Structure 1
Amino acid sequence: MPGERVHRTAHSVEVAAPAGVVYGLISNAVQWPLFLPPNVHVERLEFDGRNERLRMWATANGQIRSWITRRVQDPQARRIDFRRQHPQAPVETMNGTWTVEERAGGTSLLTLRHDFTVHGDRPEDVAWVELATDTDSGAELDHLKRLAERWTRLDQLVLSFEDTVRVKGPAELVYDFLYRVSDWPALVPHVARLELTEDTPGVQVMAMDSRTADGSAHITESVRVCFPHAGRIVYKETTTPALMDAHTGEWSVLPDESGVTVVSQHSVVLREEAIESVLGEGADLARARRYAREALGRDSTATLNLAKRHAESAIRVL
């Protein structure tokens, strides 16, 4: 459009890890919510091994934004080109490139480039997009560097698991219980306080005070993306307990001919440097994994059982 111009940014970081490791982290965008702070949820809509289409939810200057991105992966060149489709205002177009250059001594240079245009090219809108791009790019590169440089231990730092409960009741009632998170302080014993904002239907921003088994409390902040027709609620904690560098999860309500299976999935990245301060002197990574599994599993299973009781009690009343 007349008067609009292309704005360009470039951010780079040196990484003490092999180029193949770094490329592997940027190529698997579905894992980005666990690994990269701005990303809340990523759905892979299409992928043929080279071309892919992604639906993404992420934070930008404190706001939750969603868009569809097309990416072209080139593993041999260690390059990924991307282009947002129909980005949200004030962005008119947003394109970019990830590149990983191999350096001497087994290190790498990771670079993220953006070029974008803004509706009307108003200075305040350009400044908003530049701030969001600079902030998110810096956070993404910093976390990718930290993760890649711990690549030999990453499998031990990442913990994923799930818990399930069978329900003899309607899937709709189970989903309703999990969706109406603002009611949880009155219904879920470990939830002491919860503040909820839902400016966009199905995108919930919440702050929660939780009681732990020893009576202490911790504060978390999360973004939840709800898919009622699929019976799914995915979430990312944007403020985590001290032991966790990242925490993502999903509630899934899966009906079949004999009832409903409700699944709670968790994935966390443990904060290795906080283990002893949280769990005591001499605590190691194995103990941290057990602690996280037990604590998260206990709370989510308790919530699953309350959803089960909610659905089954309604059936008995009817």
Structure 2
Amino acid sequence: MSGDRVQRTSYAVDVAAPAGVVYGLIADTTQWPLFVPPSVHVERLEFDGTSDRFRMWVTADGGVKSWISRRSLDPGRRTIDFRQEVPAAPATSMGGRWAVEELGRERSRLTLVHDFTAADDCPAATEWLTRATDSNSRAELAQLKETAELWTKLDDLRLTVEDSVRIHGPAELVYDVLYGVEDWPGHLPHVDRLDVREDQPGIQVMSMESRTADGAVRTTGSVRVCFPHAGRIVFKQTATLPLVAAHTGEWSVVPDETGVTAVATHNVLLREEAVGALLGPGADIAQARRHVHEALSRTSTATLDLAKRHAESAVRILRPGS
């Protein structure tokens, strides 16, 4: 850290939820992409209950940053200390603490403290880090507060949708279709337009216009992190459908001795206040769950079927005598 000056920020928010609920939300890093707006994906590397090491990808000031962090968890004191192993530029160090203070049976205060340095105290880098830390900290606390205050309904508002298809073809060709989103508009009936850029290898930022079952056109935005050697693509929607507060998921290609299983998984947090306006007066969470499940399953299955046709057609073309 040499002689770089340490910058410190501190933010706090009062939450109408028990301290244990709030602590639980920040303790499980694997759930952050669903509950913390800047978080795109967390890949856990080590965890023993009190020590946590993970790689995470986040949106920051219009871009995508990635780093490996270590955390020390103290459930008794409800504190979590964190430190980036190799900070994302332009930071030369980044760390801090989460703390949850009990204010009452169903009231608590969540505090987030950061300390960081920029190389050679560069004013531009310090200003960028301050701005990004401020923006992300406020977004994190606001969303965590909103989510924690739904604690009695959270199980009903969370939804996981999984679809899979069996494919008799090469895993590489299946992955090519899932990765090559720029070709989706010409092959998937529900995709009207799709713009994608890949400024960093394996990090796709995309905007998509898709058509719902009733013909309405909706625009969503996503960040996708691609792991070609593992046959995985994880994603986080940065602009969601009106009924959805948060949406993450994964495309995976799992080969075995006789072929490939391609799987689409979606994790969704529903927006309760939008249910009546979008599905009609009297609609409830159960109807919203069915509606979102059917919509996601319809589009996922169409995409998986496209990958199946592509891979199996190539096999037939290459087969001798065909």
The AA in structure 2 aligned to 1:313 is S
Structure 1 segment 120-139 matched on structure 2, within 5 A: 120-139=120-139
Q: Does structure 1 residue 24 correspond to structure 2 residue 48?
A: no
SS at match of 1:17: coil
Match of 1:303 in 2: 303
Structure 1 segment 7-156 matched on structure 2, within 5 A: 7-156=7-156
Return structure 1 stretches of 4+ with deviation > 4 angstroms: none
Match of 1:312 in 2: 312
User: How many angstroms does 1:94 deviate by?
Assistant: 0.2
User: Which structure 2 residue ranges, 5 or more long, are not aligned?
Assistant: none
Structure 1 segment 248-259 matched on structure 2, within 5 A: 248-259=248-259
Match of 2:173 in 1: 173
Hey, what's the Cα distance between the residues in 2 that align with 1:156 and 1:257? 39
String of CA shifts for 1:190-230, please: whole Å, max 9, x gaps. Answer: 11000010010100000000011111110000000000010
User: How many angstroms does 1:105 deviate by?
Assistant: 4.1
Hey, what's the Cα distance between the residues in 1 that align with 2:307 and 2:49? 39
User: How many angstroms does 1:104 deviate by?
Assistant: 2.6
SS at match of 2:173: helix
Give TM-score, length-normalised by structure 1. Answer: 0.98
User: How many angstroms does 1:3 deviate by?
Assistant: 5.2
The AA in structure 2 aligned to 1:201 is P
User: How many angstroms does 1:258 deviate by?
Assistant: 1.2
User: How many angstroms does 1:88 deviate by?
Assistant: 1.9
Give the number of equivalent residue pairs: 318
SS at match of 1:222: strand
User: How many angstroms does 1:276 deviate by?
Assistant: 1.1
Structure 1 segment 183-198 matched on structure 2, within 5 A: 183-198=183-198
The AA in structure 2 aligned to 1:57 is W
Contact 2:209 2:218 in 1 (8 A): yes
Hey, what's the Cα distance between the residues in 1 that align with 2:2 and 2:144? 38
User: Aligned-residue CA RMSD in angstroms?
Assistant: 0.9
Q: Does structure 1 residue 277 correspond to structure 2 residue 286?
A: no
Q: Percent identity?
A: 62
String of CA shifts for 1:219-249, please: whole Å, max 9, x gaps. Answer: 0000000000100000011000100000001
SS at match of 1:37: coil
Give TM-score, length-normalised by structure 2. Answer: 0.97
Hey, what's the Cα distance between the residues in 1 that align with 2:83 and 2:188? 43
Q: Does structure 1 residue 245 correspond to structure 2 residue 245?
A: yes
Hey, what's the Cα distance between the residues in 2 that align with 1:144 and 1:262? 33
Hey, what's the Cα distance between the residues in 2 that align with 1:299 and 1:3? 54
User: How many angstroms does 1:106 deviate by?
Assistant: 2.7
Hey, what's the Cα distance between the residues in 2 that align with 1:217 and 1:241? 10
